Every structure is written in structure tokens, then in C-alpha cells.
């Protein structure tokens, strides 16, 4: 029986799955099995995967990453499950470190981090990579409130007892938050900052769509279990979003009411103060123009978050509860 079972859901990942598998199979820890769960890809994913010594399984129809992960775990031989998304590349020592952490019987769930250097270049990838870095740098201690299956590991018995990921979520949505809510009722989620993967971040268009969809669904989860997290969806970030949105509203009213233009600077200043570590980190890494870009993206995405989250709350309050599926 292998020490680790590495489960990777994939869909049309011909551009990313090869480098990921190369980085896994070149690690200094090889007591593993790798399970690729192909979620009905229509590209060359299968032919690329079959060049490697891994277990390939194909779902008959598109079911989403939650269902694919659950399927992979059900066929894993190890009691230690490691999850990766198909668009990452491992830094050295990742698998050995996951094994060391789960060998400690007191630790049953642990996550790593995205590296601050993205796999793909461009303003949006660098924006997201630095944002992730700042979010996790702000965490005090070695535990988090969200289990991230893009780079995470868990004991199989715990995963099975929790019922896995909810496959009612058919995209990369908020299945991680829903699963984490269940997990935190039973155990802690540990953070190991030495476990790092480089990530290929989405384009601007895909990022906006992802924010809109995830915020819409996250708001509905929040109605059922009102809690903020200690990374990303924190109460501090919620405040920053509201102040950014208030500044935009007042600035838009400026042509009608001149006083609103000046009044809009106050909430903008507060929002930038709340986001000061992110903006200053962007300045340190990429210079003044990128820091200005970062502040502009924060403002724009805050509007997406507020509108989508508000729509999600309204929907959650007015529509019947949707049954979950495991």
C-alpha cells in the first residue's frame, strides 16, 4: 500500500497536466500512487496522462471537480490523501512534507500555499499570486479555517466520515468552504508554509466570472452558517469591500452632487488603509504602476463581490434549499 494517494481531478487540462505530473514524479518522495480523474475531457488530456506511470480514470459525463475528487478517494489505496488541482506545479519537497505532517497522528488535515511567483505571466496572475501571499501572511498561528484542495491533504477515514465534497457544486465554486465547515466541527486544518506550489491563474474574464459565481454561492453558505474565515473571506476584507463600493457610489454621484466626489475619497481612503499590506506588497514586488493597478482591481472586484454577494443573499432568502449530493 502506498504511503500517499495523490488525487487530481482534471477537465480539458492538456496545457497543464504534463508539467504537473512531471513535478510530482520527480519529487524526492516516491512512495505514492497518482490517480487522475478525467472529468469527461474533450481535448488531449488522456493521451498526455497515459505517457506517465499513473492511474487514469475517466468519468462518462461532466460531473465537476467535487464528484471527481470523491471518486478518486473512493479508489485510493492509501489512508493519506493528497489533492492537487491540475493547473499547479510542485516545488521541491512537497510530497515528503505532506507525508511527514500526516504521519503525526494529531494532524489529520493540512494545506499548503500558492507560491508568490505565478506559472503564467501578466497583470492578473501577479495580482492574484501576491494577493494569496498577503492573505496567508496575515494568518497568525498554524491553523486555517478553509481546506483548499488545490494543495491539501487529509486522512481518508476523516474524509469518508465527512461525506466528501458536495457534488451539487459542479464547478470550482465553494465546495471547499462547504467541506471546511463540516471539517472544522470535527478537527483542525493545519497550515504548512513550507509546502508550496506554483499556480497558473485565470485570465481577467475568467477571474471576474469566478468571483461572481463564488460570491453568489458563498453568500448562501453564509446565511446557513454565518462565519468569516481567517484567510481570504475575512471580516476585514468584508469591510474593505463595503468601503470600496461606497467610494464608487459616491464618486459616480459626483456629476450630480459635487460634494459626493469629495465625500467618496473618505471611504476610498479607509478601504486602502484596510488593504494597505496588499497594495504595499504589490509596490515592493512590482513597482508603483502595479500598486496602482492593484488598488484599481481591488475596487473593481469589490463591486463584483458586493453585487454577487447581495444577489446570493436575496436568492438564499427567497428560494427553497437545494439538496446536497455527495
For residues 276 and 326, membership in a common domain is answered with yes
Residues 153 and 243 in one domain: no
Same domain, 247 and 192: no
Which of 84, 107, 89 lies closest to 32, judged by CA? Answer: 84
Provide the residue range defining the domain that includes 276. 204-326
Spatial CA neighbour of 295 closest among 273, 264, 321 = 273
Q: Using an 8 Å Cβ cutoff, are 262 and 98 in contact? A: no
Burial (0-12, 13-18, 19+ Cβ within 10 Å), 214: buried
Same domain, 194 and 209: no
pLDDT at 249: 80
Question: How is residue 24 written as a grid cell?
Answer: 510530482
Q: What is the per-residue pLDDT for 322? A: 55
* Confidence at residue 170, expressed as pLDDT on a 0 to 100 scale: 86
CATH of the domain at 32: 3.90.550.10
Q: Decide: residue 193, CB within 10 A, 0-12 exposed, 13-18 middle, 19+ buried.
A: exposed
Cβ contact 308:210 at 8 Å? no
* Angle, CA 86 vertex, CA 122 and CA 282 arms, to 5°: 30
Please report the pLDDT score of residue 180 as a whole number: 96
Domain end point (choices 201, 233, 250):
201
Give the angle 226-83-203 at the CA atoms, nearest 5°: 75
Residues 135 and 115 both lie in one domain? yes
Q: Give yes or no: residues 68 and 174 share one domain.
A: yes
Same domain, 27 and 172: yes
Residues 162 and 269 placed together within one structural domain of the fold: no
pLDDT for the residue numbered 218: 95
Note the pLDDT of residue 320. 65
Q: Which of 175, 201, 227 is the last residue of a domain?
A: 201
Whole-prediction pTM value?
0.92
Residues in the chain: 326
Number of domains in the chain: 2
Please report the beta strands in the chain, taking only residues with DSSP state E, as ranges in sequence order. Answer: 4-10, 32-38, 55-58, 80-84, 88-90, 109-114, 143-144, 151-155, 189-199
| 187 shares a domain with 80 | yes
Task: Quickly count helices (H) and strands (E) in the chain.
Answer: 13, 9
Rounded CA gap, 39 and 196, in Å? 25
269's grid cell:
481612503
Q: Are residues 194 and 289 in the same domain?
A: no
**Same domain, yes or no, for 197 and 280?**
no
pLDDT score recorded for residue 18:
97
Domain shared by 148 and 269, yes or no:
no
Task: Name 56's bridge partners.
Answer: 36
Print pLDDT tens along the chain (326 aa): 899 999 999 999 999 999 999 999 999 999 999 999 999 999 999 999 999 999 999 999 999 999 999 999 999 999 999 999 999 999 999 999 999 999 998 999 999 999 999 999 999 999 999 999 999 998 989 999 999 999 999 999 999 999 999 999 988 889 999 999 999 999 999 999 999 999 999 999 999 999 999 999 999 999 999 989 998 899 999 999 999 988 888 777 655 555 555 666 788 899 999 999 999 999 999 999 999 999 999 999 999 999 999 999 999 998 766 555 55
Question: 181, 201, 221 — which closes off a domain?
Answer: 201
Give the strand pairing for 151-155 and 80-84.
Answer: antiparallel
- Residue-wise DSSP of 116-157: SS-SS-SHHHHHHHHHHHHHHHT--SSEES---TTEEEEEHH
Amino acid at each position: 500500500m502506498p504511503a500517499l494517494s495523490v488525487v487530481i481531478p482534471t477537465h480539458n487540462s492538456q496545457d497543464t497536466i504534463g508539467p504537473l505530473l512531471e513535478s510530482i514524479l520527480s519529487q524526492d518522495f516516491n512512495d505514492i500512487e497518482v490517480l487522475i480523474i478525467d472529468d469527461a475531457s474533450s481535448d488531449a488530456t488522456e493521451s498526455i496522462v497515459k505517457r506517465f506511470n499513473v492511474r487514469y480514470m475517466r468519468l462518462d459525463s461532466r460531473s465537476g471537480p467535487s464528484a471527481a475528487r470523491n471518486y478518486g478517494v473512493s479508489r485510493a489505496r492509501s489512508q493519506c490523501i493528497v489533492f492537487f488541482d491540475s493547473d499547479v506545479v510542485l516545488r521541491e519537497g512537497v510530497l515528503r512534507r505532506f507525508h511527514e505532517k500526516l504521519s503525526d497522528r494529531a494532524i489529520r488535515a493540512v494545506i499548503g500555499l500558492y507560491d508568490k511567483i505565478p506559472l503564467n505571466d501578466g497583470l492578473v496572475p501577479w495580482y492574484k499570486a501576491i494577493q494569496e501571499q498577503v492573505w496567508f501572511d496575515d494568518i497568525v498561528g498554524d491553523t486555517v479555517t478553509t481546506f483548499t484542495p488545490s494543495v491539501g491533504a487529509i486522512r481518508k477515514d476523516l474524509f469518508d466520515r465527512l461525506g466528501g465534497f458536495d457534488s451539487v457544486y459542479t464547478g470550482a465554486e465553494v465546495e471547499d468552504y462547504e467541506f471546511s465547515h463540516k471539517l472544522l466541527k470535527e478537527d483542525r486544518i493545519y497550515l504548512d508554509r513550507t509546502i508550496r506550489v506554483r499556480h497558473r491563474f485565470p485570465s481577467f474574464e475568467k477571474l471576474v466570472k469566478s468571483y461572481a459565481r463564488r460570491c453568489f454561492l458563498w453568500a448562501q453558505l453564509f446565511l446557513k452558517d454565518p462565519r468569516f474565515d481567517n484567510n481570504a473571506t475575512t471580516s476585514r476584507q468584508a469591510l474593505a469591500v463595503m468601503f470600496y463600493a461606497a467610494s464608487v457610489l459616491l464618486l459616480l454621484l459626483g456629476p450630480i452632487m459635487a460634494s459626493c466626489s469629495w465625500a467618496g475619497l473618505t471611504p476610498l481612503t479607509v478601504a486602502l488603509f484596510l488593504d494597505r499590506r496588499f497594495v504595499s506588497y504589490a509596490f515592493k514586488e512590482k513597482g508603483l504602476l502595479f500598486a496602482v493597478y492593484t488598488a484599481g482591481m481591488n475596487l473593481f472586484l469589490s463591486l463584483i463581490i458586493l453585487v454577487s454577494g447581495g444577489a446570493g443573499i436575496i436568492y438564499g432568502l427567497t428560494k427553497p434549499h437545494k439538496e446536497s449530493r455527495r
